[in-house]
Amino acid sequence: MLKFNLFKWQGSGKVYTLPWLRNRLEYSSDPQRIGEYAKTSFTRSRFVMKMLTEFHLSKNSIVVSEDDHAMWLKRISRAHMPADEAIPLIAHDLMDHVFPTFESHQEQQSFQVTDKLVREIYRIMLDKMLKVNVLKPLDDYIETTKFPHGSRPMVLEGLMYSLRLHMPFMRPVRYFLDCLFFKKSLYMKRVSSKLEQMVYDFSIPRPNSWFSTLVELKESGKITRLQFRGEITSMLVSSFSLASAMGYALLCLAARPQYQRKIQEDPGFAKYFVMEVLRLYPPFRQFGYQQSDVTQGNDKAGGVSHEFMIPIFELHRNSDIWENPKKFYPERFLQPEVAKGFKYMPFGMGKRSCPGRNFSMILLTQALQYVCSDKSPIHIIKRDTLPRGGSGRLLSFAIEDTISYRMK
């Protein structure tokens, strides 16, 4: 039957093949198997690269470049990351913008999580990572633009990939499908390309900034014009990941007010709270690797490509590893070994793992500490439910939900 010929399962159900494309993908949320794989020499999988390149915002940034280029550029960019000591102030500033203060102590204010956080975090990324002074036209554009989460469900992107819709000559078909079903994706592509141009036209790079370094690299021919633009879009993409984590963290805080008191009494606990948020709601829901020696054009050596996918959402909720996996329980991280042994990896693993990890962890922790402290002028209003966290997307951009607060 057609159904059985199309999808062939092997072994314990973790190896998945599409015989008609001769592709072989292994899916695993078993820490032991991931640990074995981690001992080999691996890099980002071509499958994930192609999905990111063709179906997401950035076609030419570090994320979708080959190892040599990525390692080289990551090393240069590291010097431009904010110093650890500077991050608390960035976090306080961010929260003051996200929760603007107002006169009345009775009135409740609300905002839409995705829009507000992406906008404010994007401003932080321009100011503190790219290190530019934003001019009014750009600031106005950021202020008036909506930043919805607009990606397609993962299963569909996988299917589109399998049907070769990522190939350049299929661009009209992709465009047609997007026009019909995924207008938000098209809209976000337009916004990101407009932002690339506006950042170039309406911002002033500070001396020795990441932006001026990128301009120098472009002018000396060390990166192409498209790679330069890709790194500008990278700021927007990172803002989405961070806004997703921050949004979930604030919503979890509203749903579990006892932790507001706990963090106030013991600020160090905020770190475990953030870890639990990233366990239950990892912004990247899945990533994939392949052996480093499998080069482009030769990724089907022997008729198969050895791609290893980690569905992080499932790994982080695997009941064989986590006690009461669906329970929001940050205390579980008080025992450090609970996160060890390839059970917990919101920032990926290996040489292509996230360079924004340290910055994100400190920023998230400091933001929560500030919101829960006496210094913060706001009080987050209790909500009844934890946010829902679907597993259907390769990247879960910040979610659409509302948070309410009032002045203390």
Task: By CB under 6 A, name the binding residues for ligand HEM.
Answer: 44, 62-63, 70, 74, 129, 234, 238, 241-242, 245, 283-284, 287, 346-350, 352-356, 359-360
CB of 172 to ligand HEM, least distance (A): 29
Place of tokens 């979890």: 252
337 CB-near residues (< 8 Å, 6+ apart): none
* Residue type for position 305: S
CB of 71 to ligand HEM, least distance (A): 7
Distance CA 166, CA 137 (A): 35
CB of 241 to ligand HEM, least distance (A): 4
| DSSP of 153-187 | PHHHHHHHHHTTTTSGGGHHHHHHHHHHH-HHHHH
Q: Which is nearer to ligand HEM, 267 or 356 (CB)?
A: 356
Q: Which is nearer to ligand HEM, 148 or 355 (CB)?
A: 355
Q: Which is nearer to ligand HEM, 378 or 395 (CB)?
A: 395
Strand partners, 287: 310
CB of 40 to ligand HEM, least distance (A): 14
CB of 65 to ligand HEM, least distance (A): 7
Q: Which is nearer to ligand HEM, 178 or 270 (CB)?
A: 270
CB of 44 to ligand HEM, least distance (A): 5
* Residue type for position 109: Q
Which two structure tokens, joined as six digits, stand for 294? 């499998």
Q: Which is nearer to ligand HEM, 14 or 74 (CB)?
A: 74
Q: Which is nearer to ligand HEM, 178 or 210 (CB)?
A: 210
Q: Which is nearer to ligand HEM, 283 or 387 (CB)?
A: 283
Q: Is 324 exposed, middle or buried (0-12, 13-18, 19+ CB in 10 A)?
A: exposed
Distance CA 161, CA 171 (A): 12
The DSSP code for 134 is E
Positive or negative torsion for Cα 331, 336, 342, 344: positive
171 CB-near residues (< 8 Å, 6+ apart): none
Q: Which is nearer to ligand HEM, 165 or 349 (CB)?
A: 349
CB of 293 to ligand HEM, least distance (A): 18
Positive or negative torsion for Cα 185, 186, 191, 193: positive
Phi-psi region of 303 (alpha: psi -120 to 50; beta: other; left: phi over 0): left
Rg (CA), the chain: 22
Place of tokens 């975090």: 121
Phi/psi for 388 (5° steps) reads -85, 150
CB of 42 to ligand HEM, least distance (A): 9
Q: Which is nearer to ligand HEM, 38 or 177 (CB)?
A: 38
CB of 354 to ligand HEM, least distance (A): 3
Q: Is 121 helix (H, G, I), strand (E, B) or coil?
A: helix
